[in-house]
Amino acid sequence: MPTKEITNGLPSVLGAQVRGDGGMVVSDELAKELNVGPLAVDRNQGIATAHGTAKVDGTYDYPADGRRAGFAYGLLSPVPAGGGAFDECWVRSWPPSPEMRMLIRLSLIPGAGEPNADPPVVSQLNTRKGTEFDGAARFEQRVTRFGAMAALAVGMVLGYFSVRSRRLELASAKHSGVTAATQRLQVGIEHAVVALMAWILAMPMIIYAARSAGLPDLPVMVVLGTKPVLVAAPAFIIGAIAGAATIREKQLFRYFSNR
């Protein structure tokens, strides 16, 4: 079976599940064929070879999703990094950095290759979805980029019509002597309390959704999820005050007739 010598850093690049006790790292496909069970069951499980039993330290998944072939069925044998030169140098970099293509060339040993050998190649392991990733452009083109603007519009509309639905009550209050400024202050305070309660209820759901996504940038996800709520809350209050400003005492009879 194909065996490749590696340094101790490659299993982490491949996302392998290892105990760290030392030993071979086996692909999932080969582990199934050799009946290598879960590592937590037997810490002494191994693979019989011509030179004895090779201890298995972990397994790694290598699906056929467009990545370079050659590792889906094989063994990886860790060796000391200073034991000699290697044919390849692997780097996990996210997000992809253009400078990485230059930095990885520092791993080359001048004059170590054969005279007629092919020149070194810097390539991506999986090019199925392209060789470049512009995170900033993708972020600006996301579907939810208009979420804050939509929340602003929805908040103002809800605030406006929530007050307009009480136009008979508010017009009657003005007829009883309540000033316009006092009434707008009252409406603003009432809707501020509603907005605060909505914000308190929304925050746990936003944090839960961000944590459920399993992404490393949890604070960023929470901030992005909070922006529509923070925009909608003042818009709701402003819409309510604007709605209160449109209610006239002289239209009390019409409000009463259309109730």
- Mean pLDDT, all residues of the chain: 84
At residue 197 the predicted structure's pLDDT band, cuts being 50, 70 and 90, is very high
Tokens at residue 18, please? 């290892």
The pTM of this model reads: 0.58
Q: How is 92-111 classified by DSSP, letter by letter? A: --SS--TTHHHHGGGG--TT
Tell me what the mean pLDDT of segment 182-211 comes to. Answer: 92
Decide: 171 and 255 in contact? Cβ < 8 Å: yes
pLDDT of the residue at 244: 92
Nearest by Cα to 121 from 96, 92, 87: 87
Chain segment 124-173, per-residue pLDDT in tens:
888 787 777 777 788 888 888 898 999 999 999 999 999 999 888 889 99
Q: What residue segments make up the domains of the chain, in order of their start?
A: 3-107, 137-257
Residue 195 has pLDDT above 90, yes or no: yes
At residue 40 the predicted structure's pLDDT band, cuts being 50, 70 and 90, is very low
Of all residues in the chain, the percent with pLDDT exceeding 90 is 24
Chain segment 61-73, per-residue pLDDT in tens:
988 888 888 888 8
Q: Three-state DSSP class for 150?
A: helix
Per the listing, tokens 């050659």 go with: 70
Residue 6 has pLDDT above 50, yes or no: yes
pLDDT of the residue at 48: 66
Q: What CA–CA distance (Å, rounded) separates 148 from 138?
A: 18
Decide: 4 and 86 in contact? Cβ < 8 Å: no
Residue 113 has pLDDT above 70, yes or no: no
Pairing of strands 24-27, 52-60: parallel
